[in-house]
Amino acid sequence: MTLRFDKLGVVIAAIAAYAAFAAPFATFHANRIVPGQARSILDALPATTGPLLLAIVIVAALIALLRTPLALRLAASVVALVALALLIGVAGTFLTPAGNTFARISPASGFWILIFAFTLLLADVLTRLNLPPSARVGVLVVAALAIGLLLMWGRWDSLSILKEYSNRADSFWAEGSKHLTLALGSLLAAVIVGLPLGILCHRVESLRAGVLNVLNIIQTIPSIALFGLLIAPLGWVATHVPGAAALGIRGIGTTPAFVALFLYSLLPVVANTVVGLAGVPRAANDAARGMGMTDRQRLFSVEFPLAFPVILTGIRIVLVQNIGLATIAALIGGGGFGVFVFQGVGQTAMDLVLLGAVPTVALAFAAAIILDAVIEMTATKRRVETA
């Protein structure tokens, strides 16, 4: 029997070997600001678990390296990821001197690179399995539950990012809900305004180029400038329009952030509505007209359902973009996870940066997977119906 190598496996095994043997697994900081000292896998874990983790990493890397069945590759990646997730918590407890509340243990580059390598393996297996959209959402839910369980169970409490969290638990959830309100609220507003505007642009050709050009130009204004530019007009509205201040409209804070996100969201929604409606087959429209449908009936029962997947694609772009952009709201006092990112940058406390960045990335990632699955489901449903 000859051993055959998997091309991607060679890359994964090389990355894993570097991370396991040449890069630090965890970093020990005497307090939250000072630079840390690197610890390898064997130094960071108790005498039995260290070699165990090394063994798991080596076996999983070998499975990746050789051409092995998909099920085995799936098992190897999952086992390796779970072991890493559990043992980084063990390393946190093991490295913290007893009774010391200042010391901080954070995962180091070797840990992150190992996570990356085995996530790559998992992503490859999942891509090759060609899962239906519902199963992809299922995998996401299982992963989220597993992470949630580890958090509730307190496995990671000894790690620095969770120490930062426990100091700010209340504000974390407050900023988190502000972040979501900003991202989802501005999306909702953009859909309410953008869909009719898109339909109008589709029907009235003379309007189309103008509206799309204006929206395109808004996209070129850098986000931090647009946030800042809205402070003055909204401040003016708050002081001069009766009742505006009572509605919570202010020059600084959430309002300009909301308006800026709304303005950025309009282009993808309007442009995709126009593209989607333009892509409706002429035959479908002619048939609807022939059946005696009014313009309004045609819009709601023919054009709109056919254009829906394209419009959804626009909404996906907006949602992922808004979750990311909402971090910038913190610069103008608009709140959101960006608060922790910018505080962390200011104090050079990287664990605080992570506390803001990790949930943002996770939210954007989950939103992308869920919406991709929904888009695929509506698109295939349509194909089955029309076939």
Partner 1 sequence: MKAWLPLLLRLALVVLLVAFITSPGWFEPLLKPLTENNAPAIYNQGSLLTLTLLHLRTVLIATVAATIVAVALAILVTRPAGAEFLPLSRSLVNIGQTFPPVAVLALAVPAVGFGEKPTLIALFLYGLLPIFENALTGLTTLPANVVEAARGAGMTGWQRLTKVELPLSAPIILGGIRLSVVISLATATIGSTVAARTLGEVIIAGLLSNNLAFILQGGLIVAALAVLIYDGLSAVERYAARRMGREAD
Least distance (Å) from partner 1 to the CB of residue 243?
Answer: 25
Task: Return the SS3 of 29.
Answer: strand
Least distance (Å) from partner 1 to the CB of residue 350?
Answer: 5
If DSSP states are collapsed to H, E and C, what string results for 58-106?
HHHHHHHHECCCHHHHHHHHHHHHHHHHHHHHHHHHHHCCCCCCCCEEE
Least distance (Å) from partner 1 to the CB of residue 355?
Answer: 11
325 binds partner 1 (CB under 8 A): yes
Distance separating the N- and C-terminal Cα atoms of the chain: 47
One residue of 20, 280, 318, 323 binding partner 1 per CB under 8 A: 323
CA distances from 167 to 124, 164, 299, 335, 352 (A): 38, 5, 53, 18, 11
206 binds partner 1 (CB under 8 A): no
Which residue in the block uniquely carries the two structure tokens 């580059």?
109
64 binds partner 1 (CB under 8 A): no
One residue of 217, 241, 245, 247 binding partner 1 per CB under 8 A: 217
The interface mask with partner 1, positions 223-262, x = CB under 8 A, is xxxxxxx-xx------------------------------
Least distance (Å) from partner 1 to the CB of residue 248?
Answer: 21
The interface mask with partner 1, positions 278-317, x = CB under 8 A, is ----------------------------------------
By rule CB under 8 A, what count of residues binds partner 1?
49
Least distance (Å) from partner 1 to the CB of residue 372?
Answer: 8
**Closer by beta carbon to partner 1, 50 or else 251:** 251
Cβ neighbourhood burial of 7 (10 Å; 0-12, 13-18, 19+): exposed
**Closer by beta carbon to partner 1, 25 or else 195:** 25
The interface mask with partner 1, positions 101-130, x = CB under 8 A, is --------x----------x--xx-xxx--
Q: Number of C-alpha atoms within 13 angstroms, CB side, residue 271?
A: 16
Q: What are 259's two structure tokens?
A: 């308006």
**Nearest alpha-carbon partner for 160 in 343, 342, 339, 31:** 31
145 binds partner 1 (CB under 8 A): no
Q: Looking only at Cα atoms, what is the longest distance across the chain?
A: 83
Distance of CA 223 to the CA centre of its chain: 19
Which residue in the block uniquely carries the two structure tokens 């996530």?
119
Q: What are 380's two structure tokens?
A: 């295939």
**Closer by beta carbon to partner 1, 53 or else 226:** 226
Say how far apart CA 88 and CA 53 lie, in whole Å: 10
16 binds partner 1 (CB under 8 A): no
In the complex, which residues of this chain contact partner 1 (CB under 8 A)?
7-8, 109, 120, 123-124, 126-128, 217, 219-229, 231-232, 320, 323-325, 327-328, 331-332, 338, 341-342, 344-345, 348, 350, 353-354, 356-357, 360-361, 364-365, 367-368, 372
